[in-house]
């Protein structure tokens, strides 16, 4: 095997996926959030930096880099520094296993439209495991700041993410039963041509959607950073690019969640019409590229949905949040799982 070629391929993919897609998507997520919130409130939103304010995210990032980085003197320096790295690192590393389109042939080899190993057969488990690690970033941040508001934010976040992870995982089992596979590549292939899982597993989709909001700490479940009670929550004591990393991680997580929702429930990169109708063969570069854009468009819709919900729905009270997680979503997820298994047992 030609190792140097593999490494070059990996580097190119890493650069494209991590910087071009993820970081820019996260930065423009911020822009989109400001624009959509402005539209909902009958305002215009950022429109000064560049055409339509499109360069605003770059201005923001430059500002964050140039800001003074303040560490509270009572803080635990090591964990205070590690926390944002964990948050952003986890948010980025999830992309190691997410495929973006069908593999295509180039020369005489197959190139996978994913960051690393082609077709990881435990893709979903890896994603679930990593998003759980993301809790550490927020909890460390809350604890190491040595500030009561940060600590409360960190505690809330860990309690919330752990309780919602259960129903999230259980709702996914239904999808896995339908697809009979853990590999994202296969799950998407099974949904070809409008055989979307959302039609077979509507309940699982609802549970997953609600849990995704809680997992990404977005409104209406943004209790870890509930401004009226907790100042800024876990990132109260952060400034400069450390704060920026939390900020980017939040938007990267939002993008990841939308991507996973699309991959699992909305047919992933499948085109709405058979590829033959527009004269593209399976395995060709152009088909992969087209699929990639289809995937991104579907994902952007969900990113928009996340933002839209944030500016429409008021924040939950903490007991309501726990009630919803443990007494509503978890039994529903179990119910969905039981029904799905019975149906599949009798259909086979």
Partner 1 sequence: MNRIENTEHDRLTFWERLYLPEIAKGLGITLRQMFKPKFTRQYPEERWEPTGSYRGRPVLVLDEDGERCVACGLCSRVCPALAIEVQAAETERDKERYPEKFEINMLRCIYCGFCEEVCPEEAIVMSKDYELVFTNREDAILGKEKLLVPIHKLQDRLEFLREYK
Query: By C-beta, is 313 or 344 nearer to partner 1?
Result: 313
Structure tokens at 196: 């979307």
* Residue carrying structure tokens 């009561």: 148
Contacting partner 1 within 298-327 (CB under 8 A): 308-309, 311-313
Structure tokens at 150: 């940060």
In angstroms, what is the minimal distance from the CB of 91 to partner 1? 26
- Calculate Rg over the CA atoms of the chain: 21
Q: Give CA–CA dist 218/8, Å, rounded.
A: 37
The piece of 42-50, 228-236, 252-260, 272-280 that touches partner 1 (CB under 8 A) is 42-50
Is 202 in contact with 340 (CB distance < 8 Å)? Answer: no
In angstroms, what is the minimal distance from the CB of 153 to partner 1? 25
Draw the binding track, 270-299, toward partner 1 (x: CB under 8 A; -: no contact).
------------------------------
39 is a site residue for partner 1 (CB under 8 A): yes
State how beta strands 109-111 and 104-106 pair.
Answer: antiparallel
The piece of 41-49, 86-94, 127-135, 279-287 that touches partner 1 (CB under 8 A) is 41-49
Query: By C-beta, is 35 or 298 nearer to partner 1?
Result: 35
Q: Binding residue for partner 1 (CB under 8 A) from 4, 41, 73, 108? A: 41
Burial (CB < 10 A; 0-12, 13-18, 19+), residue 336, is buried
The footprint of partner 1 on this chain (CB under 8 A) covers a number of residues equal to: 13
155 is a site residue for partner 1 (CB under 8 A): no
Contacting partner 1 within 203-242 (CB under 8 A): 206
Is 321 in contact with 223 (CB distance < 8 Å)? Answer: yes
Distances (CA, A) of 237 to 157, 218, 334: 16, 20, 40
Query: By C-beta, is 58 or 308 nearer to partner 1?
Result: 308
| 105 sits in which H/E element | strand 104-106
Tell me which residues touch partner 1 (CB under 8 A): 36, 39-44, 206, 308-309, 311-313
């Amino acid at each position: 095997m030609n190792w140097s070629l593999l490494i070059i391929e990996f580097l190119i993919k890493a650069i494209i996926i991590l910087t071009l897609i993820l970081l820019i998507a996260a930065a423009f997520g911020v822009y989109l959030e400001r624009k959509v919130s402005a539209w909902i409130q009958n305002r215009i939103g950022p429109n000064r930096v560049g055409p339509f304010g499109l360069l605003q995210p770059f201005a923001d990032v430059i500002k964050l880099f140039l800001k003074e980085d303040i560490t509270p003197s009572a803080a635990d320096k090591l964990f205070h520094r590690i926390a944002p790295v964990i948050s952003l690192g986890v948010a980025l590393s999830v992309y190691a296993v997410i495929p973006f389109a069908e593999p295509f042939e180039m020369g005489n080899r197959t190139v996978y439209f994913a960051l690393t190993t082609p077709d990881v057969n435990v893709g979903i488990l890896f994603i679930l495991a990593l998003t759980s690690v993301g809790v550490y970033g927020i909890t460390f941040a809350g604890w190491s700041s040595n500030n009561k508001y940060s600590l409360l934010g960190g505690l809330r976040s860990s309690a919330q993410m752990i309780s919602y992870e259960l129903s999230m995982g259980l709702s996914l089992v239904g999808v896995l039963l339908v697809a009979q596979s853990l590999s994202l590549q296969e799950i998407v292939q099974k949904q070809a041509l409008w055989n979307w899982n959302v039609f077979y597993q509507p309940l699982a989709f609802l549970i997953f959607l609600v849990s995704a909001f809680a997992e990404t700490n977005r409104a209406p479940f943004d209790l870890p950073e509930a401004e009226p009670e907790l100042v800024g929550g876990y990132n109260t004591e952060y400034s400069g690019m450390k704060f920026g990393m939390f900020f980017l991680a939040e938007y990267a997580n939002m993008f990841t969640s939308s991507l996973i929702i699309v991959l699992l429930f909305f047919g992933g990169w499948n085109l709405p019409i058979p590829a033959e109708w527009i004269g593209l063969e399976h395995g060709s570069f152009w088909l992969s590229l087209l699929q990639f854009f289809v995937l991104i468009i579907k994902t952007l819709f969900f990113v928009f949905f996340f933002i839209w919900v944030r500016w429409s729905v008021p924040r939950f009270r903490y007991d309501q949040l726990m009630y919803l997680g443990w007494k509503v979503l978890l039994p529903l997820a179990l119910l969905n799982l039981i029904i799905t298994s019975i149906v599949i047992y009798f259909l086979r």
